Amino acid sequence: MESRQKQYVKRSTYSAYMLLIENHLLSAFGNMYNIEKADVQAFVFKKLAKG
């Protein structure tokens, strides 16, 4: 993922994306083998509730 993504976005954009992935997505889904639609919906609703 890393080398392919760097070809299409600026370094600052890539860094911002990686921070979002590390801080939000990996903490929520990092240990999951299969991510279902319900998992994503629960994640989004939880984030929306927190504001």
Share of the chain above pLDDT 90, in %: 67
pLDDT value for 39: 94
Task: For residue 22, give the amino acid letter.
Answer: E
Q: How far apart are CA 41 and CA 51, in angstroms?
A: 15
Split at pLDDT 50, 70, 90, the class of 7 is low
Provide the pLDDT for residue 8: 77
- pLDDT for 4: 55
Report the alpha-carbon angle 38-40-43, nearest 5: 110
Q: Is the pLDDT of residue 2 over 60?
A: no
Split into its structural domains, the chain has a count of 1
**What is the spatial distance between Cα 47 and Cα 24, in angstroms, rounded to a whole number?**
9
Q: What residue numbers bound the domain in which 9 lies?
A: 2-50
